[in-house]
Amino acid sequence: MKKLVVIILTKILYMAGSIMGKGSSLPGKLALKLCPDILARLTLPENIVMITGSNGKTTTAGMINDVLVENGFDVGYNYEGSNQIEGVATLLLRISDLAGRVKKDALVLEVDERYTRYVLKFIKPRYYVITNLYRDQLTRNGHPELVYSIINEGVTDDMHLVLNTDDPLSSMMGMGKDRVTYFGINKNELSTDINTSMYNDGAYCPNCKAKMEYDYYHYNHIGSYHCEACGHRRHDPEFAVTGIDFDEGSFTINGEHKITLNFKSFYNIYNLLAAFTVASLLGVGPDRICASLNGYIVKKERIIEFVTAAGKGMMIISKHENSISYNQSLRYITGQKGDLTAVIIVDSISRKYYTNETSWLWDIDFELLRSDNIRRIILAGKYAYELGFRFKHTGIDENRISIIPDLDDLMKAINDMAVPGGKTFVLTCFSDKQKFIDRVRKWN
């Protein structure tokens, strides 16, 4: 009886919330308060895919959902912003019938890495995808090894793990497990022999802490590693990227399945590869997956194009407090042809909590912008001066750098200073995204 009441109440609250344009976590939050084990009382489909990790989980979950839907699956999927247990509860109670049965072919659940242990108490995924574990929001998370233990607490033998074999930390979850599928990128012409980043989180084996050996790196500490002491190593991936062609804009999985890229970055390839892996495990044929993923457009909120008098521009979301996310965007920019302008905005560090913590700016490889085609660099927002001081240590010609602390001056700066005819790339976080978009609109 209680279950029925909670289900009905949640559905009503959700509908009311939708009309008022409210977020989707509140109904679930109330449901969990009224009936803490409500999720355990639901009858869920067998095909549950759960996705967590530091970077790429929202994009990967979106890709998995889209591939499944395009291939005839009826899917329940929690959209961006509802990846905590409350959001998951809202979704499931919304799509369940009054008896608590969720009649879907599959569930695709993105779960915040810090909430996995709560969600896993009630929901056992058939496939559990961990995209990677990087330095991310350390003010809140402490450090990656802590996040690892939180996630690992919830892992049980009956789950089939889908792991990134190139990441020494998150791949460790597969140790001693029978049901693991690894995905990864094989050595290619972009691989390097040394790690040139500001830090090396792969220097020591995350399992036994002996020094780790690397055969090659893709970026930061992501690559092919092995530990002589305990044997922890990159496993040959069952789903491997065997070729990357950034000129053409495509990559190939297992030597035969080619996917075209709308956004040419390693990042995007890892997300697409994880989606390919999961869809394959769920029985979708490779050609059909490729057809769904070809030219996949990363959600609009993450890449936004705009125009100023100086020419075309593109805003790329790079997460603050996440150096690898920034490095990926920087690599994307430096990989572009022709002269261009780079704009970095750091105005609020987080949209979720207050902090003045900027240590992560010193973890980012801004040195990558030493590239010749980056003609102009604009550092903007409240933390523009600290960025300016950071850039002082990059060896980049200071004549190329402008510091614009007040965002109200930014559009004029781009307009006046950006390389004429060259594209402008703006890097910023969700916390500052809207501030920039509003100013672009006002300017146009």
Partner 1 sequence: MELRILHLYHDLLNLYGEIGNIKVLSKHLADQGIIVSVQGGSVGDDVDFAAYDFVYIGSGTERNQFVALNDLKRHRDELKAAIDGGLVMLATGNSIELFGRYIRDTDGQTREGLGLFDYHAEWCRERISTDIIYRADFLERDLVGYVNRAGMAYGIDTHLFEVRFGVGANKDSNKEGIRYNNFYGTYVIGPILAKNPHFLEYISRSIIKSKDTEYIYKEIRNENQYRAYETALSELTNRMNSISHK
Question: Should residue 140 be labelled a site residue for partner 1 when binding is judged by CB under 8 A?
Answer: yes
Residue of the chain from 46, 72, 283, 354 that contacts partner 1 (CB under 8 A) = 354
Choose between 356 and 399: whose C-beta lies nearer to partner 1.
356
Binding region for partner 1 (CB under 8 A) out of 111-119, 181-189, 278-286, 353-361: 353-361
As a whole number of angstroms, the distance between CA 91 and CA 70 comes to 20
Question: Should residue 403 be labelled a site residue for partner 1 when binding is judged by CB under 8 A?
Answer: yes
- Rounded least distance, CB 363 to partner 1, Å: 5
What are the Cα distances from residue 291, in Å, to 59, 68, 286, 287? 18, 12, 9, 6
Residue 338 burial class via C-beta count within 10 angstroms: exposed 0-12, middle 13-18, buried 19 and up: exposed
Residue of the chain from 99, 231, 385, 420 that contacts partner 1 (CB under 8 A) = 385
Choose between 30 and 403: whose C-beta lies nearer to partner 1.
403
Choose between 103 and 140: whose C-beta lies nearer to partner 1.
140
Residue of the chain from 5, 40, 146, 230 that contacts partner 1 (CB under 8 A) = 146
Tokens of 352: 């979720």
Residue of the chain from 22, 187, 209, 351 that contacts partner 1 (CB under 8 A) = 209
Neighbours of 209 (CB within 10 A): 12
Q: Helical H runs in 21-164?
A: 26-34, 57-70, 85-95, 116-122, 138-141, 144-153
3-class DSSP assignment, residue 413:
helix
Binding region for partner 1 (CB under 8 A) out of 46-54, 75-83, 351-359, 421-429: 351-359
Closest CA to 410 of 306, 268, 267: 306
Binding region for partner 1 (CB under 8 A) out of 85-93, 116-124, 204-212, 282-290: 204-212
Residue of the chain from 101, 352, 392, 441 that contacts partner 1 (CB under 8 A) = 392
As a whole number of angstroms, the distance between CA 219 and CA 147 comes to 21
Residue of the chain from 156, 196, 359, 434 that contacts partner 1 (CB under 8 A) = 359
Question: Should residue 230 be labelled a site residue for partner 1 when binding is judged by CB under 8 A?
Answer: no
Choose between 282 and 369: whose C-beta lies nearer to partner 1.
369
Binding region for partner 1 (CB under 8 A) out of 84-92, 107-115, 307-315, 383-391: 383-391
Choose between 199 and 246: whose C-beta lies nearer to partner 1.
199
Question: Should residue 203 be labelled a site residue for partner 1 when binding is judged by CB under 8 A?
Answer: yes
- Rounded least distance, CB 433 to partner 1, Å: 21
* CB-based contact 398:314 (threshold 8 Å): no
3-class DSSP assignment, residue 251:
strand
Q: Which amino acid is located at 441 in the chain?
A: R
Choose between 219 and 383: whose C-beta lies nearer to partner 1.
383
* CB-based contact 109:50 (threshold 8 Å): yes
Closest CA to 113 of 56, 176, 159, 167: 56
As a whole number of angstroms, the distance between CA 96 and CA 93 comes to 5
**Positions in the binding site for partner 1 (CB under 8 A):** 135, 138-140, 142-146, 198-200, 203-204, 209, 211, 354-363, 382-383, 385-386, 388-390, 392-393, 403, 405
